[in-house]
Amino acid sequence: MAAQRWIMHMDMDAFFASIEQLDDPSLRGKPIIVGGEHRGVVSTCSYEARKFGVRSAMPISEARRRCPHGVYIRPRLRRYAEMSALVRETIARFSPLVEMASVDEAYLDATGLERLFGPVEEMGLQLKQAVREATGGLTCSVGIAPVKFLAKISSEQRKPDGLFMLRPEEVPAFLHDLPVRAVPGVGRQFAAALAQMGVKSCGEVSRYSEEFWKRKFGKAGQVLWARAQGIDPREVVPWTAPKSESAEVTLDEDTRDLDILRTWLMRHAERVGTSLRRHGLAGRTITLKIKYADFRQITRQVTLPQRVNSTKTIYDTAKDILDSVELADRVRLIGVGVSGFEEGGPSQLSLLPPKEPEKDESRRGKLDKAVDALRARYGREAVVRGRLFEAHGEGDDRKAASQAERMEADKLRK
């Protein structure tokens, strides 16, 4: 008889805020909000702040309204990445199949590991203790279930510092009253559409056939029906090739000033290009993201004839896309992304004139390699590209660098 399948979901408790409280004990017990300043969003917050209604992804302005006495802290992405690596190394000792879902959560396949760790529930307790010891006191919550999405939901049941195990025979009753909004992948709009149909729980989803949901919502409807039955065939995948690399920033002030926007494009191109080169990646599709003052958002992209990772090529392409856009309002957020890492794929006309692209990319690659080496040895500010000086001067460029450090931690979570 095949062994019972067990999936474990480990989720760090208020990860960024907990790190801040760990590093500065005077912050313990206080409402901590990690995120941008007056223009950004909340990356995460302590449980003390959540009592006031503060939540992740909430605008900082709203968080300040709800919790004016909170302690607001700029993200320290390097420190969070360092702690995430410690967590990853620790949980890898428990299973050969570990999938990092984000910087602070992971899935483990615990099937058949009872001979090593005892009952799966005991394994979960051992994992929690190991994470606490490795990080110097950080806690995590663990959910254990027969399938992936139920393991993730289970980890939310006893937060913080909890463990919840859902056995196969308990699944039908658990799902019957489970709100559809709790199912991973069911967003606000999907939940609202379901509510209009009078469907608010997984039990109510099961009143209709799979074919009904397929006709109503297509693939999303089929997945919803399967989840309502407790079906999730997805395996724990130890590593997934990245699909894109991006950087974005919410500006301190809304602007139409193209010089300011181009300067940020260069800043983003540097960050994205450096990351791509460090990981040996290159992509063909460059995407520009703009969010206006009224929160309308647009994206525009160009697919190049070859894969690239040079800062100059990424910047030139993004700048040309920006120049082709007639700005409908002042810009609140601007971002740049690179995707299309796979070989081949469809081509489309580039906004850039095809001036010996392979030769240009080779020359720019050599320059980037030299710049990367200097920065690795002497620090990021050892080499500053001329564009960043030309636009606002050295003082303002350092201010821009400081603003870049305040970018929301979404990139780190990907």
pLDDT tops 80 at residue 365: no
pLDDT tops 80 at residue 337: yes
What does the pLDDT read at residue 399? 39
- The CATH architecture annotation of domain 1-166 reads 2-Layer Sandwich (3.30)
Give the separation between CA 289 and CA 335, rounded to whole angstroms: 5
Q: Of the candidates 119, 13, 32, 36, which has an alpha carbon nearest to the alpha carbon of residue 409? A: 36
pLDDT tens-digit profile of 68-113? Answer: 999 999 999 889 999 999 999 999 999 999 999 989 999 999 999 9
Q: Of the candidates 54, 48, 151, which has an alpha carbon nearest to the alpha carbon of residue 97? A: 151
Q: Quick check: do 1-166 and 172-228 share a fold?
A: no
Give the separation between CA 132 and CA 371, rounded to whole angstroms: 39
Answer whether 263's CB lies under 8 Å from 256's CB: no
Is 235 one of the catalytic residues?
Answer: no
Give the separation between CA 345 and CA 23, rounded to whole angstroms: 47
Average pLDDT of the chain, as a whole number: 85
Mean pLDDT of 347-353: 37
Answer whether 336's CB lies under 8 Å from 268's CB: yes
Instruction: Give me the DSSP letters along 301-365.
Output: EEEEEEEE--HHHHHHHHHHHHHHS---S-EEEEEEEEE--SSS------SS--S-HHHHHHHHH
pLDDT tens-digit profile of 279-335? Answer: 888 999 999 999 998 888 999 999 888 889 999 999 999 999 999 999 999 999 999
Helix (H, G, I), strand (E, B) or coil at 374: helix
pLDDT tens-digit profile of 19-61? Answer: 999 999 999 999 999 987 666 789 899 999 999 999 988 889 8
The sign one gets for the Cα dihedral 103, 68, 406, 24 is: negative
More confident residue, 37 or 141: 141
Mean pLDDT of 344-355: 38
- 374 falls in which pLDDT band (50, 70, 90)? low
Two tokens, residue 273: 């290009």
pLDDT tops 60 at residue 383: no
Mean pLDDT of 138-144: 98
Give the separation between CA 101 and CA 315, rounded to whole angstroms: 30
Parse the chain into domains and list their residue ranges. Answer: 1-166, 172-228, 244-413
Q: Which of 131-140, 146-155, 244-253, 282-291 has the lowest mean pLDDT?
A: 244-253
Helix ranges restricted to H, 136-198: 148-155, 171-176, 188-196
Place of tokens 């070859």: 306
In eight-state DSSP terms, residue 281 is: -
pLDDT tens-digit profile of 218-270? Answer: 998 999 999 999 999 999 988 766 788 999 988 888 999 999 999 999 999 99
CATH 1.10.150.20 fits 172-228, yes or no: yes
Residue 334 CB contacts under 8 Å (≥ 6 apart), including other chains = 248, 249, 251, 261, 264, 265, 268, 288, 289, 290, 291
Chain centroid to Cα 346, Å, comes to 27
What does the pLDDT read at residue 405? 37
The torsion defined by the Cα of 393, 251, 102 and 308, in degrees rounded to 10, comes to -50
pLDDT tops 70 at residue 394: no
pTM as predicted: 0.68
- Identify the active-site residue in 20, 48, 99, 105: 105
Q: Which fold has domain 244-413?
A: Dna Ligase; domain 1 (3.30.1490)
pLDDT tops 80 at residue 406: no
Helix (H, G, I), strand (E, B) or coil at 413: helix
Give the separation between CA 63 and CA 397, rounded to whole angstroms: 29
